[in-house]
């Protein structure tokens, strides 16, 4: 039996990533899989004043603190997936007027955190026999791929077939079908289907395959998302928010065609759960990265079947 621990959509949360690495020991997992959208979306300026005090917008509230609290503030932000940098009021005005410079600062902060994660994974997992698979998702910039080059216990399985413990083959694809946000890794459903099929055709034993596809199959409990208007506001329906199925038809068709053993998905944070498409068990653990909560899925695999599974939170 092979036990995998899967999570996704940590979006730069340092706390969630550390919990992810600890999951190997806590759950006695044979391998760890982090399935995309690993980087953060927010960059917070921390402004140093002439009086030696610092000021920042932390979780929607303006906070002022001394130098002794600076690292604590930055850690709170990073645990919630928010990057930060220290600047002055005058310099911040210059940065905000120069979008290219602002983008470089964001990319540098992202790379610094990601490189620290790679190093931490190597330190924590060295000699454990646990392999750690980390791949990008649709929200992750192409620039991060260099930092995810295979090294020691950490493997980037994106766009290829890898063999997990027990001989189970896994294909991985973080690319998404079109979204309202026009994220870095989006293609048409037709193109997405071609990309999945190229990988699926390389699998020797489809009945024992794991499909690590960031986007969930359409029309399941795994892909229900709030509808968003053209100006990125939630669409109202009655007294609440309208929900739609935002998964991928290409992903669903691939699963129906090849009937893999297991589908691992994320992308839609609100749709924690499981679904079956034919013989295939599909899982989406959901995401609460902003609160530092790691949602995951444990699955025990045997040849030809998923012996059992459990959705986790901690």
Three-state SS string over the chain comes to CEEEEEECCCCCCHHHHHHHHHHHHHCCCCEEEEECCCCCCEEEEEEECCCCCEEEEECCEEEEECHHHHHHHHHHHHHCCEEEEEECHHHHHHHHCCHHHHHHHHHHHHHHHHHHHHHHHHHHHCCCCCEEEEECCCCCCHHHHHHHCCECCEECCCCCEEECHHHCEEEEECCECCCCCCCCCECCHHHHHHHHHHHHCCCCCHHHCEEEECCCECCCCCCEEECECCCCCECEECCEECEEECCEHHHHHHHHHHCCCEEECCCCCCCCEEEEECCEEEEECCCEHHHCECEEEEEEEECCEEEEEEEEEC
Q: What residues make up the domain containing 280? A: 2-39+128-313
pTM of the model: 0.96
Give residue 63's pLDDT: 95
Same domain, 81 and 199: no
Give residue 230's pLDDT: 85
When mean pLDDT is compared across 145-159, 242-256, 270-284, the lowest value belongs to 145-159
Same domain, 55 and 142: no
- What integer best gives the mean pLDDT of the chain? 96
Q: What is the mean pLDDT of residues 205-225?
A: 97
CA angle at residue 10 from 8 to 16, to 5 degrees? 110
**Residues 82-136: tens digit of each pLDDT:** 999 999 999 999 999 999 999 999 999 999 999 999 999 999 999 999 999 999 9
Same domain, 12 and 91: no
Same domain, 48 and 179: no
Give the whole-angstrom CA distance, residue 158 versus residue 170: 10
Q: What is the mean pLDDT of residues 69-90?
A: 97
Q: What is the mean pLDDT of residues 160-164?
A: 97
Q: What is the mean pLDDT of residues 27-45?
A: 97
Q: What is the mean pLDDT of residues 51-59?
A: 95
Structural domains of the chain, count: 2
In a domain, 221, yes or no: yes
Indicate whether 171 pLDDT > 90: yes
Give residue 152's pLDDT: 83
Same domain, 30 and 58: no
Q: What is the mean pLDDT of residues 63-68?
A: 96
Same domain, 23 and 59: no
Same domain, 70 and 171: no
Indicate whether 150 pLDDT > 90: no
Same domain, 216 and 292: yes
Q: Please answer whether residues 212 and 35 qualify as being in contact, where contact means their C-beta atoms are separated by less than 8 angstroms.
A: yes
Residue 160 belongs to domain with CATH number: 3.60.21.10
Give the whole-angstrom CA distance, residue 11 versus residue 37: 6
- Percent of the chain with pLDDT strictly greater than 90: 96
Indicate whether 15 pLDDT > 90: yes
Give the whole-angstrom CA distance, residue 8 versus residue 263: 13
Give residue 149's pLDDT: 87
Give residue 120's pLDDT: 96
Same domain, 160 and 246: yes
**Residues 218-257: tens digit of each pLDDT:** 999 999 999 998 888 999 998 899 999 999 999 999 999 9
Same domain, 248 and 168: yes
Same domain, 174 and 261: yes
In a domain, 245, yes or no: yes
């Amino acid at each position: 039996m092979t036990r995998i621990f899967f999570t996704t959509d940590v979006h730069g949360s340092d706390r969630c990533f550390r919990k992810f690495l600890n999951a190997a020991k806590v759950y006695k997992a044979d391998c760890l899989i982090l399935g995309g959208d690993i980087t953060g979306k927010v960059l917070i300026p921390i402004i140093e004043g002439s009086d030696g005090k610092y000021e920042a917008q932390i979780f929607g509230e303006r906070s002022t603190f001394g130098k002794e609290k600076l690292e604590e503030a930055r850690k709170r932000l990073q645990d919630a997936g928010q990057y930060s940098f220290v600047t002055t009021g005058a310099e911040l005005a210059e940065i905000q007027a120069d979008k290219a410079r602002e983008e470089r600062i964001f990319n540098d902060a992202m790379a610094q955190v990601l490189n620290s994660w790679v190093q931490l994974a190597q330190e924590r997992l060295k000699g454990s026999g646990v392999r750690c698979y980390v791949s990008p998702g649709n929200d992750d910039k192409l620039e991060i791929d260099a930092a995810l080059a295979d090294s020691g216990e950490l493997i980037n399985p994106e766009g290829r077939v890898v063999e997990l413990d027990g001989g189970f083959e896994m294909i991985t694809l973080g690319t998404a079908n079109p979204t309202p946000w026009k994220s870095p890794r989006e293609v048409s459903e037709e193109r997405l289907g071609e990309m999945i099929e190229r990988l699926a055709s390389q699998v020797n034993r489809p009945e024992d395959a794991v499909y690590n596809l960031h986007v969930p199959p359409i029309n399941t409990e795994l892909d229900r998302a709030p509808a968003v208007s053209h100006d990125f506001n939630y669409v109202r329906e009655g007294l609440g928010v309208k929900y739609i199925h935002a998964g991928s038809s290409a992903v669903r068709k691939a699963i129906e065609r090849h009937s893999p053993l297991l589908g691992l998905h994320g992308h839609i944070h609100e749709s924690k759960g499981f679904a079956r498409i034919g013989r295939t068990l599909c899982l989406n653990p959901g995401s609460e990265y902003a609160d530092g909560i790691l949602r995951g899925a444990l699955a025990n695999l045997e040849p030809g079947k998923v012996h059992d599974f459990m959705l986790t939170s901690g």
